[in-house]
Structure 1
Amino acid sequence: MSYAHLNAYSRLLRGAHEAVATGRAWPESPRRLIKASWRRSLDAGIDPEGTSAPLVCDPTSMRDIRDTHPLQPLLPLLAQTLSGMADETGHIMIVTDGDGRVLWREGNRTVMRHADRIGLADGHQWGEHDVGTNGIGTALATGRPVHVYSEEHLMRVLHIWSCSAAPITDPDSGRVIGCVDVSGTARSLHPATVALVAATAKLAETQLALRMHERDERLRRRYESLRGRPGILLSATGRVISGDPAGDLGERVHVGERLSPGHRLLLRDGTVAHLEPFSGGYLLHPAPSAAPQPLTLSLLGEGIPTASYGDGDRPLSLRHAELLALLTLHPHGLTAEQLSFHLYGDAGNPVTIRAEIHRLRAQLGEAIAAKPYRLACPVEADFLKVRHLLSSDDPAALARAYPGPLLPRSESPEIRRERDELEAQVRAFLLRRGGPDEWWVYAQTCNGRDDYEVLERLAALPPTDLRSAAARSRLLS
């Protein structure tokens, strides 16, 4: 980018910053990547006048954290690739974990002293939800290499910095485990920097893959030494290594954490299996067939949505309730991209969906399968029951089963369509086949309270019927 273009873009960004500070509409927006990042950052409550990244790790524990991180053996490779270039050009190399917490840094000493003032140092966290738009946090949020030019940072204190960063994905677990970044106080980095950083991240992923294959081969040899090759061999992260030639389990089984011997898993085909620790991995054995426990969802009405699975009811956030409703409506499963579209339309971000599904699986575990995301157990949902009752001839049962609309606070386009359709069908059914008792029950729902036709019918009841007086009162209010 030429200096003329940089100056023009800087003016645009300054105008956008002033609009953010005063709560006005942006006169012009930054490029799409940065605009989306600013939106996420502002939604997370980031203050553009903040001064530093938060310190989230006790400095005395940093050595243990580094030593146990999977990128620790690759640090010499990363340093050899980037730190020399960073030092010579007046920049620093940063390596973080998957949450954006700085684990290592090397490079120009003068720049590191400047970095200390803003928390670009060991133990400080640089996720978008911590400091807003920045190379590390935005690369982790989008899952791809990014370059953030100085005034594209949301926090003003970072406007003298520019950075290029790329996430590092562990091929074993499939999770983003870190980020490599080159940052400096120059107004702009060389255009090739982001490509070099991306290549370095890919080099790290290649080395991680080689180490993974070596571990797999050692585990496979031990497995093959067992007579009869019992069970299916999994890695410690649940990858299928051997014993499933037809590929029925897919590439990975969700094994969770802190598993006890004999732990039961619900597989993607609905069968149950036992998990047995084996030489740093697992063996999966078929279990005697048993009916899988159902997932019970209560998503109708104005109360807090809940899910029941195994050990009692759990309150659901609106976002988790929406995800479970969508997966119930699509029993064959949805990708993160499809879920994002159904929830947010074109403005959706699949990265956000993957994070929410990860949190939801921490609550419901084996009830939710992946690739694609789907419910891997029987589902008993109140709105499905209402659907079934619409085909019956029992208006009393339908009225009792319908406390109100499906997730009335949801703005998801797909859920709104389902909600409106279900509401219209219930109302028409009760008006056509119901009587005063059913109309009165429906009149207690949020939409029925002010339904003119329903209230008129109730108002026509004998004056001695208290429901008639209540209906007349509502019609007059």
Structure 2
Amino acid sequence: MKWVSTLEYVAEPPENDMLRDPESYARLLQRVHDAVLTGMPAPRSPRSVVSESWERSLAAQVDPEDSEAPFIFESAELNDLRAQHPLAAVMPLLRETLVTIADDAEHMMVVTDADGLVLWREGATGVLRRADSLLLAEGTRWSEETTGTNAMGTSLATGRPVQIYSAEHLVRRYHNWTCAAAPVRDPDTGVLLGSIDVTGPLHTVHPAMLALVTASAQLAEGRLRAQLAVRDEKVRRANMRHLEALRGRPGALLSAGGRVLATEACLLPSTVEVRRGGGTVTLPDGRIATLDPLDEGYLLRVATAGSPTRRRLTLEYLTDGTGSTTVDGRDIPFTLRHAELLTLLALRPRGLSAEQLALQLYGESGNPVTVRAEIHRLRTQLGTGVVQTRPYRLAAEVNADFLRARTALRRTDAREATRCFRGPLLPESEAPAILEERESITAQVRQLALNSGDPDALWSFWETSCGADDLAILEALSTTLASTDPRLAVVRAHRARLD
């Protein structure tokens, strides 16, 4: 589902003449209004957003001389509508942002639903009283189809912020007013929820009105997005057990609207088209999947003819530098704790439980809850198909320098072992299992280099922080390097400094 946020719109600006000389501009707009509606030559053309709105309104049979907003609901009936409407959650924010300003500037704030029904109206008492004479009141509908061109209705019709001034209103009785409105969209589905409007008498026009309502709509969408993130996390926590029960088979946890909240061993678009009640769906790439309804959302199970393509995880942690983590060739920012987790999982391909990881990372004081939280963050960082659960294990194809070094040690291949060894394993780590592995690899590579008598292997180890001041390595180099090898002079000079 493709949708565009209010944040991405650039509204057509009102004319500079309106801001420099509002009264003269209003008289000009009146002449334009009369000329266009009577078919006479006009002194200028209306703004495109206005002329297009006039066309839509006239096509809906709005009478410019005798139309008014219809009452749809009485005040008593609005309470339930307000309570159930998504914008109710952002009304405190809108009051804080707009109503105080509206009071001071002789304006009022109006909030509608997606059909233009006025749900809330707050602001300066005098302006509210004057608005009553226009039936700009709670329970009335201000769509283009009912009241012609107006900021609320036109913003909903176009999906864009808009300011309507004086005779830009199609209906004549609204010519003494100015208004600016911006639409608000549901961050989950992208559908219009309603509009936020600031309205006031003609003389209260201000150049910041349009920017103010646009910013307020952005804040409202941001607040709704934050609330959605909280709900998503609750759904994940409540339903992750269903995803983990797939035990590595491809699937996903979806919101009620089809957004992908978590995945297991598969790549998916951000949203999957869902059917109420579940059933079989076809994914955009042609794969077939089954939707199992949950209390909140769906469990998506992907049917595969064969094994899914494995992702490639590369770990370079034997280094005196910072190391690197890449997935499918893409560098991944990582923390020391995440590097420790990946190292332990790479060393134990059959997997480890949260309790085992806690013991290896923290010792006897380790807490499995902390490990689960770190694994969750790590899986989010790496994306799907890298770390699986129950037990925690690496599903990707792993290429790690410390694993290559271990293989070379088993083969007693000194050159390959020292080529892989560019420094100690995660030197800043104090995790018990990492300390043990670091000391083991360092000691074995050092001993293999010494036993080999190979000057190239010895030199590779000496170039690391582990071998730089190692007298045994220096002694071996002094005896194995040819007298014509320029490296011999470097070794002797360094040994002399140590002595």
- Do Structure 1 and Structure 2 share a fold, with TM-score over 0.5? yes
Give the corresponding residue for 2:261.
241
Is 1:144 the counterpart of 2:160 in the alignment? yes
AA partner of residue 228 (structure 1): A
Secondary structure of residue in 1 paired with 2:64: coil
Is 1:73 the counterpart of 2:101 in the alignment? no
- Per-residue deviation at 1:269? 3.5
- Per-residue deviation at 1:59? 3.5
- Measure the CA separation in 2 of the matches of 1:184 and 1:203: 22
* Partners of 1:150 and 1:188 within 8 A in 2: no
After superposition, the Cα gap between the structure-2 partners of 1:183 and 1:245, relative to the gap in structure 1 and judged at 3 Å, is farther
- Measure the CA separation in 1 of the matches of 2:120 and 2:138: 6
1:255-289 Cα deviation digits (max 9, x unpaired): 36xx23x4443433345544332132122234799
**Which residue, 220, 228, 232 being the options, matches 2:245?**
228
Give the corresponding residue for 2:175.
159
Secondary structure of residue in 2 paired with 1:118: coil
Is 1:34 the counterpart of 2:50 in the alignment? yes
Give the corresponding residue for 1:254.
273
After superposition, the Cα gap between the structure-2 partners of 1:118 and 1:51, relative to the gap in structure 1 and judged at 3 Å, is farther
Secondary structure of residue in 1 paired with 2:72: coil
**Which residue, 62, 65, 70 being the options, matches 1:46?**
62
Secondary structure of residue in 1 paired with 2:245: coil
- Per-residue deviation at 1:14? 2.1
Give the corresponding residue for 1:118.
134
Give the corresponding residue for 1:203.
219
- How do residues 263-278 of structure 1 correspond to structure 2 at under 5 angstroms? 263-278=279-294
Number of equivalences: 285
Give the corresponding residue for 1:100.
116
* Partners of 2:62 and 2:145 within 8 A in 1: yes
- Measure the CA separation in 2 of the matches of 1:13 and 1:246: 59
- How do residues 7-406 of structure 1 correspond to structure 2 at under 5 angstroms? 7-24=23-40, 26=42, 28-226=44-242, 227-229=244-246, 231-243=251-263, 247-248=267-268, 250-255=269-274, 259-260=276-277, 262-286=278-302
After superposition, the Cα gap between the structure-2 partners of 1:283 and 1:2, relative to the gap in structure 1 and judged at 3 Å, is same
Secondary structure of residue in 1 paired with 2:86: coil
1:446-475 Cα deviation digits (max 9, x unpaired): xxxxxxxxxxxxxxxxxxxxxxxxxxxxxx
- Per-residue deviation at 1:247? 4.1
TM-score between the two structures when normalised by the length of structure 1? 0.55
Give the corresponding residue for 2:338.
none
After superposition, the Cα gap between the structure-2 partners of 1:159 and 1:100, relative to the gap in structure 1 and judged at 3 Å, is same
Secondary structure of residue in 1 paired with 2:228: helix
Percent of aligned pairs with the same amino acid: 45
AA partner of residue 221 (structure 2): E
* Partners of 1:150 and 1:187 within 8 A in 2: no
AA partner of residue 257 (structure 2): T
- Measure the CA separation in 2 of the matches of 1:267 and 1:279: 23
- Measure the CA separation in 1 of the matches of 2:142 and 2:163: 15
- Per-residue deviation at 1:63? 0.6
- Measure the CA separation in 2 of the matches of 1:26 and 1:273: 60
After superposition, the Cα gap between the structure-2 partners of 1:246 and 1:283, relative to the gap in structure 1 and judged at 3 Å, is closer
Give the corresponding residue for 1:331.
none
- Measure the CA separation in 1 of the matches of 2:260 and 2:70: 39
Unaligned runs of 5+ in 2: 1-15, 306-499
1:412-431 Cα deviation digits (max 9, x unpaired): xxxxxxxxxxxxxxxxxxxx
- Measure the CA separation in 1 of the matches of 2:145 and 2:155: 13
Secondary structure of residue in 2 paired with 1:243: strand
* Partners of 2:186 and 2:192 within 8 A in 1: yes
1:168-197 Cα deviation digits (max 9, x unpaired): 111111112121111011335211121111
* Partners of 2:179 and 2:200 within 8 A in 1: yes
After superposition, the Cα gap between the structure-2 partners of 1:172 and 1:284, relative to the gap in structure 1 and judged at 3 Å, is same
- Measure the CA separation in 2 of the matches of 1:283 and 1:58: 42
- Per-residue deviation at 1:25? 6.0
After superposition, the Cα gap between the structure-2 partners of 1:266 and 1:164, relative to the gap in structure 1 and judged at 3 Å, is same
* Partners of 1:51 and 1:118 within 8 A in 2: no
AA partner of residue 284 (structure 2): R
Give the corresponding residue for 2:432.
none
After superposition, the Cα gap between the structure-2 partners of 1:23 and 1:263, relative to the gap in structure 1 and judged at 3 Å, is farther
After superposition, the Cα gap between the structure-2 partners of 1:237 and 1:27, relative to the gap in structure 1 and judged at 3 Å, is same
* Partners of 2:107 and 2:201 within 8 A in 1: yes
1:270-323 Cα deviation digits (max 9, x unpaired): 45544332132122234799xxxxxxxxxxxxxxxxxxxxxxxxxxxxxxxxxx
Give the corresponding residue for 1:339.
none
Which is worse superposed, 118-127 or 3-12? 3-12
After superposition, the Cα gap between the structure-2 partners of 1:101 and 1:244, relative to the gap in structure 1 and judged at 3 Å, is farther
* Partners of 1:165 and 1:194 within 8 A in 2: yes
- Measure the CA separation in 2 of the matches of 1:247 and 1:64: 41
Is 1:6 the counterpart of 2:1 in the alignment? no
* Partners of 1:38 and 1:132 within 8 A in 2: yes
Considering Cα pairs closer than 8 Å and 6+ residues apart, tell me whether 1 or 2 has the greater RCO. Answer: 2
TM-score between the two structures when normalised by the length of structure 2? 0.53
After superposition, the Cα gap between the structure-2 partners of 1:244 and 1:30, relative to the gap in structure 1 and judged at 3 Å, is farther
* Partners of 1:93 and 1:105 within 8 A in 2: yes
Which is worse superposed, 59-68 or 226-235? 226-235
After superposition, the Cα gap between the structure-2 partners of 1:216 and 1:8, relative to the gap in structure 1 and judged at 3 Å, is same
* Partners of 1:149 and 1:188 within 8 A in 2: no
* Partners of 2:281 and 2:290 within 8 A in 1: yes
- Per-residue deviation at 1:15? 2.7
After superposition, the Cα gap between the structure-2 partners of 1:163 and 1:22, relative to the gap in structure 1 and judged at 3 Å, is same
Q: Which runs of 4+ in 1 moved over 6 A?
A: none
- Measure the CA separation in 2 of the matches of 1:189 and 1:254: 45
- Measure the CA separation in 2 of the matches of 1:127 and 1:150: 17
Which structure has the bigger radius of gyration? 2
* Partners of 2:73 and 2:140 within 8 A in 1: yes
- Measure the CA separation in 1 of the matches of 2:290 and 2:135: 47
Secondary structure of residue in 1 paired with 2:203: coil
- Measure the CA separation in 2 of the matches of 1:245 and 1:99: 42
